[in-house]
Structure 1
Amino acid sequence: MSTIAASATIHPMAVVEDGAVIGENVKIGPFCHVGPRVVLGDNTEMLPHSIVSGITTLGKGCRIFPMAVIGGDPQSVHHGGEDTTLTVGDNCTMREGVTINTGTADFGGKTIVGSNNLFLANSHIAHDCRVGDHVIMSNNVMLAGHVTIEDRVILGGGSAVHQFTRVGRHAFVGGLSAVSYDVIPYGMLNGNPGLLGGLNVVGMTRAGVDRATIHIVRRAYKAIFETEGNLRDNAAAIRAEFADCEQVVQILDFIAAESDRALSSPTRGQKG
């Protein structure tokens, strides 16, 4: 049996299947469809022709625009119809045509999206992705399966992220870029193939990082990417020198972590 809060508003031409849980002040417009294992948090709004299906939980204050499909089955040949889940945090906006899939059983069965995110029209989050908080995905951004997007990343329109790739916090990916390798925190990547073009100084400034700290991070960046030798060895070699800078430590920890992908750099994948 469904649990529907008395304050919820459901249009008579919407379909809310038996078993759904509908929170306080939820608004569900005409021609919407809510599956039987869906939980909609308080103050969430579904605009006409939007769908939430699967074993999907949305937090408070989310907005889902027309033709978005949230909680659809994973687009994977390995998916055999197993019960897998999607969890979305609070205050996420999913614009027209956004698709977010549940996980796959072989990899834990969970797609997890944080809070305060903005997903613009026709952007896609595939199975088993991990998306942090305050992320902006512009129109037509595509995340393949198992991608990790950390907090406050901005992905420009039409960019595509290869499966199992990580994009570090506060990174910026330019429009139409092909993200084939991990992007360090505070990095800026552009092009196809995507090349690391330095630091997202604008993003760092907006985040309240002072000029002196930005200069420290720039020195660390040069030591890692503009010095001869292996990038991971270069990063390990400077850890003691930059141990007091939080932003540099975040970069070094990101580089040191295990990953299925190599690191983006100013030259990796460059043609010619």
Structure 2
Amino acid sequence: MIHPTAVVDPAARLDPTVQVGPCAVIGPEVELGPGCVVGPHVVLYGRLRAGAHNRFHAGCVIGDAPQDLKYRGAPTGVRIGDHNVFREHVTVHRSNNPEEDTVIGSHNFFMAHSHVAHNCVIGNHVIVANGVLLGGHAVVEDRAFLSGNCLVHQFVRVGTLAMMQGGAAISQDLPPYTMAWGDNSLCGLNLVGLRRAGFSAAERLELKQLYRLLFLSGRPLRDVLADARNRFTSAPAQTVIRFIEQSRRGICRHGTRARAAALPEEPSETTSPEESGPGNP
């Protein structure tokens, strides 16, 4: 199941069910679990551990050295879970120090030409669209959706079920369940994503009320957090509050009042997802 033109180091550990395409290159410290498929001209290198049923499409480079001027050749790595898809020419760099890895969970979809830099941590069921660039040490939590050509600065966190509209760029943390547009700006909640994820109407309503308090009240964020902790008790609301309290880079803020003075009303239960909002996961 290994093409005769592939170059596989004898020390690499590949499950017998792994398929390796023509002209692929696999280094000595690579481990691939059952059912992985390595396409043509893929390069897997460094201390790379990948679980089951991952698919690496043509031209991927996974586990190469970090683009970090401080890196001096230490044996560093990448850890990948199960059932991930890496489309054409995706790049994932290994960490810049042996004490931690670049980490990718399971069931993620990385579209063509996207880049995951050193020491990033990606959760599960994340969609990273074409041309997305993730800076070093970025964190993307479960079920986030990063649209085409989005930019995430190093050390920035993207919260669970957050969404970035195409071309958005953030250098501050993006709270869970919110939508980013432009530069470090929010434009409301990812309502369609919340509905599809099974959030109840009561949970969605509380999140809208929390959003208004945090981002539309006109009060300083640090002043309203104490009120929010006492007023909003659902698990999703507490997730948002904890995320903001733990932020070290600051939080993206709501865009201009001219664009949206308040959150849009949530679509009715009879409205189709296609009618209810642009590009939601």
Residue type of the alignment partner of 1:128: N
1:96 aligns with 2:85: no
Q: Distance in 2 between matches of 1:173 and 1:267?
A: 14
Of 232, 250, 254, which residue of structure 2 is paired with 1:266?
254
* Alpha-carbon RMSD: 1.3
> Could you say what secondary structure the match of 1:105 adopts?
coil
Moved over 3 A (4+): none
Q: Which whole-Å deviations, capped at 9, do the CAs of 1:10-43 have from their partners, x for residues lacking one?
A: 1111111021000141101111111000001110
> Could you say what secondary structure the match of 1:248 adopts?
helix
Of 142, 149, 158, which residue of structure 2 is paired with 1:158?
149
Displacement of 1:155 after TM fit?
0.2
Q: Is this contact kept in 2: 1:153–1:168, CA < 8 A? A: yes
Q: Distance in 2 between matches of 1:212 and 1:24?
A: 50
Displacement of 1:233 after TM fit?
3.0
Q: Distance in 2 between matches of 1:230 and 1:76?
A: 36
Q: Distance in 1 between matches of 2:23 and 2:88?
A: 15
Aligned to 1:11: 3
Q: Distance in 2 between matches of 1:95 and 1:267?
A: 33
Q: Distance in 2 between matches of 1:217 and 1:24?
A: 48
Q: 1:171 to 1:258 in 2, by over 3 A?
A: closer
Aligned to 1:38: 30
> Could you say what secondary structure the match of 2:241 adopts?
helix
Aligned to 2:220: 230
> Could you say what secondary structure the match of 2:205 adopts?
helix
Q: Distance in 1 between matches of 2:216 and 2:225?
A: 11
Q: Is this contact kept in 2: 1:84–1:103, CA < 8 A? A: yes
Q: Distance in 2 between matches of 1:188 and 1:26?
A: 38
Q: Is this contact kept in 1: 2:31–2:48, CA < 8 A? A: yes
Residue type of the alignment partner of 1:13: T
Displacement of 1:76 after TM fit?
0.5
Aligned to 1:251: 240
Of 129, 134, 152, which residue of structure 2 is paired with 1:138?
129
Q: Is this contact kept in 2: 1:68–1:95, CA < 8 A? A: yes
Q: Which whole-Å deviations, capped at 9, do the CAs of 1:43-84 have from their partners, x for residues lacking one?
A: 000011111101001110000001100001000101000111
Of 205, 230, 245, which residue of structure 2 is paired with 1:215?
205
> Could you say what secondary structure the match of 1:104 adopts?
coil
Over the matched positions of the two proteins, sequence identity in percent amounts to 37
Aligned to 1:67: 59
Aligned to 2:272: none
Displacement of 1:267 after TM fit?
4.4
Displacement of 1:232 after TM fit?
3.1
Q: Is this contact kept in 1: 2:173–2:247, CA < 8 A? A: no
Q: 1:258 to 1:172 in 2, by over 3 A?
A: closer
The unaligned stretches of length 5 or more in structure 2 are 257-281
Q: Which whole-Å deviations, capped at 9, do the CAs of 1:154-210 have from their partners, x for residues lacking one?
A: 00000010111000000000111111110000010011x231111000100010112
Displacement of 1:258 after TM fit?
4.3
TM-score by length of 2: 0.88
Q: Distance in 1 between matches of 2:218 and 2:169?
A: 26
Aligned to 1:112: 103
Q: Which whole-Å deviations, capped at 9, do the CAs of 1:85-113 have from their partners, x for residues lacking one?
A: 1001100000000000000128x341111
Aligned to 1:124: 115
